[in-house]
Structure 1
């Protein structure tokens, strides 16, 4: 959840910097379709990291194992 919050709060202030140019160049339909495509491509990442997360954590020397 912390990673999700960090990404949201870092992307939020940056979006207005390029959103106007993106919507001008691509049009409303094109820019919205681009954003929807990016979100659709990113949606499975949650489930992928849930599957491979324990393996990544086991290999990490920085992971904190409390059990």
Structure 2
């Protein structure tokens, strides 16, 4: 069961990274509006924090299964 949860978490992380990459491509093609850049940076930081949390949860799952 832990494996399924870990794989689900990894899949969510991969989807989040794909969204980040797509956003980066869009922002490099659009104007360099300072307000938009601030919004993108804020969204990136929030998403990064969520990814770090998910990775921490995966680590805990892996540790608990190895005991």
Structure 1 length-normalised TM: 0.43
Structure with more helix by fraction: 2
Name the structure, 1 or 2, with higher relative contact order (CA <8 Å, separation 6+): 2
